[in-house]
Amino acid sequence: MEELLEELLEECRPYTKMGKLADYIPELTKGNLDDLGVFVVRSDGKRYSAGDSRKKFTIQSIVKPILLLQALMDNGIETVRSRVGVEATGKPFDAINMTDQSLLSENINPMVNMGAIAMCTLIHGETYEEKFQRVLDLTRTLACNPDIDVDEAVYESEKRTGNKNRALGFLLKAYNMIDEENIDAVLDCYFRACSIRVTSEDLAFIGYALASRGKAALTNERIFPSKYGTYVNAILATCGMYDGSGDFAIKVGLPAKSGVGGGIMAVAPTRMGIGLFSPGLDEKGNSLAGIKVLEKLSQRMYLSIY
Ligand code: GLU
């Protein structure tokens, strides 16, 4: 398996330079286009890696399934579903509704920014610091890594420049889709969540917990009920790769989530969790070389669920 991963990385290395670093915040332009790493956690407990699998980067949108999991664990499916829908938006992750029609909760999705910001309000906690801390703790538990922390420079940068996300937060309030009055506090929780620092190894462990529908890789302890795993995986399969989810479903065929930091977490139900990192992004915001590696891995190991 390790040989296969090495081979795939070499085959896909030329794609790393074809992508573009995210540049909506200055901090992310400091990434290195040469980085490429993969980590696999299998259901038999075996772990394999190749390349820069221990390089740290910010989780960005890959925190969205974790926000969703926490919201489900705190409120149950019915409440979450009534506040944020499940249909694919087919629009970019930060799209703002430019029509004059009313926005309804069924029109948003937890894997795009508006839905994820709404999700922050559903997480239990006295304050937004407490809510965020619970998200960070869940991330650590899923990844079996108590050392996961926040990249403070990215967080500051997100906060300073996140005006489009602020607009989304205020739109949610304007359309009565969230109860919270203090939108800045909600956004602070969202910006911090995006700035959690992980490795491909961490993403593979988180992917494993979803692949096993709730069990931690190292301890086999149950972290969340399996019905939440089914819920999250289905949403990942239909909307996890932004408005490139349909193409990804055909080429790779796995529930997955990407982030503009260059990470991808993929879930092969009952079989494995896969973490990838390569910061060069395609025009949709997905790691270009990361998708290529997954495409080849899926073909070679017959991973597609379709
Ligand atoms: N922090 C980014 C934003 O909210 C995350 C986007 C992403 O990874 O898709 O704009």
Nearest CA to ligand 1 atom 4: 113
Are 72 and 142 part of one and the same domain?
A: yes
Flag whether 33 is in a domain.
yes
Digit-coded pLDDT (tens) for 238-274: 999 998 999 999 999 999 999 999 999 999 999 999 9
Q: Please report whether residue 152 resides in a domain.
A: yes
Cα atoms found within 13 Å of the Cα of residue 14, Cβ hemisphere only? 1
| Overall average pLDDT of the 174-179 stretch | 93
Same domain, 69 and 163: yes
Which CATH number characterizes residue 32's domain? Answer: 3.40.710.10
Residue 143 lies in a domain: yes
Q: Which of 80, 198, 252, 260 is flagged as catalytic?
A: 260
How many domains is the chain built from? 2
Q: Give the DSSP letter of residue 103.
A: P
Task: Residue 45: name the closest of 273, 265, 256, 303 by CA.
Answer: 273
Q: pLDDT tens digits, residue range 48-73?
A: 999 999 999 999 999 999 999 999 99
C-alpha of residue 261 to centroid of ligand 1, in Å: 8
Same-domain status, 35 and 90: no
Is residue 158 domain-shared with residue 223, that is, in the same domain?
no
- For ligand 1, say whether the CB of 239 is within 6 Å of any of its atoms: no
42 & 74 share domain: no
Instruction: Give the dihedral sign, CA 196/200/206/207.
Output: positive
Any idea of the CA torsion for 273, 238, 62, 161, to the nearest 10 degrees? 170
Alpha helices (runs of H) in the chain, residue ranges in sequence order? 2-16, 64-83, 113-122, 128-143, 152-161, 163-174, 183-194, 200-211, 226-239, 245-251, 288-301
What pLDDT shows up at residue 95? 79
Picking from 176, 194, 212, the residue at the C-terminal end of a domain is 194
155 touches ligand 1 (CB under 6 Å): no
Average pLDDT, the chain: 95
Residue 71 belongs to domain spanning: 61-194
Domain end residue (candidates: 179, 194, 209)? 194
Task: Let me know if 64 is a catalytic residue.
Answer: yes
What pLDDT does 91 receive?
Answer: 78
Q: Is 115 in the pocket of ligand 1 (CB under 6 A)?
A: no
pLDDT tens-digit series, residues 73-100: 999 999 999 999 999 887 777 877 666 6
Average pLDDT over residues 14-30: 93
Residue 306 covered by a domain = no
Q: Are 265 and 273 contacting, i.e. CB atoms less than 8 angstroms apart? A: yes
Tell me: pLDDT of 102 over 80. Answer: no
Q: Is 285 in the pocket of ligand 1 (CB under 6 A)?
A: yes
Average pLDDT on 205-231 reads 96
* Ligand 1 atom showing the smallest separation from residue 158 Cα: 1
Cα gap 115→106, rounded to integer Å: 10
Q: Which atom of ligand 1 is nearest to the CA of 94?
A: 10
- Binding site membership of 243 for ligand 1 (Cβ less than 6 Å): no
Judgement on whether residues 220 and 189 belong to the same structural domain of the protein: no
d(CA 153, CA 160): 11
The residue nearest atom 2 of ligand 1, judged by CA position, is: 60
**How much distance in Å is there from the Cα of 61 to the middle of ligand 1?**
5
137 Cβ contact list (under 8 Å, min separation 6): none
> To 5 degrees, how large is the angle CA 217–CA 219–CA 220?
65
- What's the confidence (pLDDT) of residue 100? 66
Same domain, 54 and 65: no
Report the separation in Å between the CA atom of 174 and the middle of ligand 1, taken as the mean of its atom positions: 22
As a whole number, mean pLDDT of residues 269-284 equals 97
210 and 274 co-located in one domain: yes
190 is catalytic: yes
Asked if residue 65 and residue 45 are part of one domain, the reply reads: no
Percentage above 70 pLDDT, the chain: 98
> Predicted confidence band at 160 (pLDDT cuts at 50, 70, 90)?
very high
Q: How many residues does the chain have?
A: 306
> Among 131, 162, 194, which residue terminates a domain?
194
73 and 177 fall within a common domain: yes
